[in-house]
């Protein structure tokens, strides 16, 4: 992604040279392109993406916001936060012998990331088969990876017409924006398809839920030295917001109502923003102590309810240990994760008909579709006094999707059916 931003003029020559010098100085010269998005000291020292980085660029027909998500298994919660804000996915896989296989085997991050983005509502995916230059631009290797991944993407719920494969050599800049020069000759011998930017330019924007109630799940909170007040950032899940409107955060202090001082989209000040836009909003009259990552910004008279117990329909992934009543899990929704318990297994569902096939099953094993009851719990196993902002999937798709993880593994995903408490 760093090389793509450079090719598109979003990283200038001065920054490129500074990143080359800096990465070489700490013994990680091969990571210089990654420094275009990996900006923290820890990320640069460790040589891995840890948090979500945001950038923007334009193609002939699209304005694109990039959310660069971590691939390492230790930072899957941050990856979920980024993927929950995404419309489309670019899955980057390493064509190196053994490297693709390591990510694609059971428990590998390629598999988990595919499942996560699809479970979070992403329906379009571009697979960038990278580092093909390291296998002599082998067409056979590209086709081997494509056949393996295409089958798995289909099994994970992606439609064949929504999947695109593109060969790239990112370090050399081959087939990102163009295929000029000596480095591209070997690829040109067998590939005449689109570049990565061509593929991005053809992505279809999803329908936006702008007629619904305003909901902005907060993914970042920060201050700016040049401006007073506090900023919150995230992608608007639904509705429209205008500068000057009154807002409140849920959960937060019930008596605190703030106002929207200004709205920024792609570093430009705007008067209003709508569902699907990634925004930074400056708030007045709200103390940062009343704001948290995962809280939802909404209008005072249309506040999202806080939930502690709800029912959900879930699909169980490829797990080794079945799910039983009382199982402890981590519940993810938007940028929030909280401890929870699968308090009841209500019914097994027939995936072909969508109807209940068995009531009160004893366990849920891999591949099962089921309706369950989920209860939030505090760190001491007591239900917290305040719940989290959730809505029925039927009322708000973005606010009604959940993921369940256990012991560092994603075990299920689903949708909220009914709010009980």
Range of lowest pLDDT (17-31, 148-162, 222-236): 17-31
- Cβ count near 217 (within 10 Å): 25
Q: Which of 127-136, 181-190, 217-226 has the lowest mean pLDDT?
A: 217-226
- Highest mean predicted confidence (pLDDT) among 10-19, 35-44, 281-290: 281-290
What is the three-class DSSP state of 289? helix
Query: Which of 25-29, 123-127, 222-226 has the lowest average pLDDT?
Result: 25-29
For residues 417 and 369, is the Cβ–Cβ distance under 8 A? no
The whole-number pLDDT of residue 45 equals: 57
Confidence at 288, pLDDT banded by 50, 70, 90: confident
pLDDT at residue 374 tops 50 = yes
Contact status, residue 340 vs residue 376, Cβ threshold 8 Å:
yes
Question: Could you tell me the domains of the chain?
Answer: 2-201 (3.40.50.300), 216-302 (2.40.30.10), 306-419 (2.40.30.10)
Q: How far apart are CA 281 and CA 273, in angstroms?
A: 10
Burial class (CB in 10 A: 0-12, 13-18, 19+), 183: middle
Separation between Cα atoms, residue 5 and residue 106, nearest integer Å: 33
> pLDDT above 90 covers what percent of the chain?
59
CB atoms within 10 A of CB 204: 11
List, for residues 228-262, the tens digit of each pLDDT value.
Answer: 779 999 999 999 999 999 999 999 877 789 999 99
Question: Is the separation of the CB atoms in 229 and 261 below 8 Å?
Answer: yes
Which pLDDT does position 50 carry in this prediction? 60
Bridge partners for 250 per DSSP = 296
For every residue of 51-106, DSSP letters joined together read S-EEEEEE-SS-EEEEEE---SGGGHHHHHHHHTT-SEEEEEEE-STTHHHHHHST
Rounded distance, CA 269 to CA 303, Å? Answer: 26
Give the whole-angstrom CA distance, residue 154 versus residue 79: 22
Q: What's the pTM value of the predicted model, to 2 decimals?
A: 0.84
Q: Helices 139-155 and 109-119, interaxial angle, to 10°?
A: 40
Query: For all residues of the chain together, what is the average pLDDT?
Result: 87
Whether residue 382 is predicted with pLDDT greater than 60 in this model: the reply is no
Asked if residue 414 has pLDDT above 90, the reply is yes
Task: Decide: helix, strand or coil at residue 349.
Answer: strand
Own/partner pairs, 145-152, CB within 8 angstroms, 24+ separation: 145/93, 145/95, 145/100, 148/100, 148/104, 149/93, 149/104, 149/110, 152/104, 152/111, 152/114
Write b or e for each residue in 284-301: b if 16 or more Cβ atoms lie within 10 A of its Cβ, otherwise e: eebeeebbebbbbbbbee
Task: For residue 122, name the pLDDT band (cuts at 50, 70, 90).
Answer: very high
pLDDT tens for 150-165 read 999 999 999 999 999 9
The pLDDT value given to residue 47: 57
pLDDT of residue 274: 97
Q: Which is nearest to 131 in space by CA: 107, 108, 103? A: 103
For residue 397, with 0-12 CB atoms within 10 Å meaning exposed, 13-18 middle and 19 or more buried, which class applies? middle
Bridge partner residues of 316 (DSSP): 412
- Assess whether pLDDT exceeds 50 at residue 383: no
Closest to 163 (Cα-Cα) out of 175, 171, 174, 155: 155
* CB-count burial class (<10 Å; 0-12, 13-18, 19+) for 48: middle
Question: Which pLDDT belongs to residue 35?
Answer: 60
Give the strand order in the sheet containing 124-130.
88-94, 124-130, 163-167
pLDDT given at position 360? 92
In 143-194, where do the E strands start and end?
Answer: 163-167
pLDDT tens column, 306-342: 999 999 999 998 888 999 999 999 999 988 999 999 9
Task: Note the pLDDT of residue 46.
Answer: 55
388: confidence class by pLDDT, cuts 50, 70, 90:
very high
> 44-86 pLDDT, tens per residue?
555 555 666 778 899 999 999 888 776 666 667 778 888 888 9
> Do residues 40 and 50 touch, judged by C-beta distance below 8 A?
yes
Coil vs helix vs strand at 305: coil
């Amino acid at each position: 992604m760093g090389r793509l931003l450079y090719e598109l003029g979003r990283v200038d020559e001065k920054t490129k040279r500074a990143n080359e010098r800096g990465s070489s100085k700490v013994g990680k010269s091969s990571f210089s392109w990654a420094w275009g998005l990996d900006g923290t000291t820890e990320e640069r020292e460790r040589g891995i993406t840890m948090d979500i980085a945001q950038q923007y660029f334009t193609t002939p027909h699209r304005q694109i916001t990039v959310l660069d998500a971590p691939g390492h298994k230790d930072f899957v919660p941050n990856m979920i936060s980024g993927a929950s804000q995404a419309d489309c996915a670019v899955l980057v896989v390493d064509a190196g012998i053994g490297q693709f296989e390591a990510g694609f085997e059971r428990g590998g991050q390629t598999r988990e990331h595919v499942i996560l983005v699809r479970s979070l509502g992403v329906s379009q995916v571009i697979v960038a088969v990278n580092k093909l230059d390291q296998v002599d631009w082998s067409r056979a290797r590209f086709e081997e990876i494509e056949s393996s991944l295409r089958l798995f993407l289909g099994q994970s719920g992606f439609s064949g017409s929504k999947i695109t494969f593109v060969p790239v050599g990112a370090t050399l800049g081959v087939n990102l924006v163009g295929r000029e020069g000596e480095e591209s000759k070997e690829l040109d011998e067998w590939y005449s398809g689109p570049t990565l930017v061509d593929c991005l330019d053809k992505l279809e924007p999803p329908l936006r839920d702008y007629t619904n109630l305003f909901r902005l799940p907060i993914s970042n909170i920060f201050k700016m030295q040049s401006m007073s007040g506090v900023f919150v950032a995230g992608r608007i899940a639904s509705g429209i917001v205008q500068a000057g409107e009154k807002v409140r955060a849920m959960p937060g202090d019930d008596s605190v109502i703030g106002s929207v001082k200004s709205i920024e989209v792609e570093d430009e000040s705007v008067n209003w923003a709508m569902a699907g836009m990634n925004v930074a909003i400056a708030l007045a009259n709200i103390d940062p102590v009343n704001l948290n990552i995962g809280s939802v910004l909404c209008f005072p008279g249309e506040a999202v309810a806080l939930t502690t117990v709800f029912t959900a329909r879930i699909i169980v992934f490829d797990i080794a240990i079945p799910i039983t009543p009382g199982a402890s899990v981590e519940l993810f929704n938007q940028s929030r994760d909280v401890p929870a318990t699968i308090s009841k297994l209500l019914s097994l569902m027939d995936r072909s008909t969508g109807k209940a096939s068995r009531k009160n099953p004893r366990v849920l094993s891999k591949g099962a579709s089921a309706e369950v009851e989920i209860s939030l719990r505090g760190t001491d196993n007591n239900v917290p006094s305040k719940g989290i902002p959730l809505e029925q999937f039927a009322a708000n798709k973005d606010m009604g999707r959940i993921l369940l993880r256990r012991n560092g593994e994603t075990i299920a995903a689903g949708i909220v059916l009914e709010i009980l408490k």
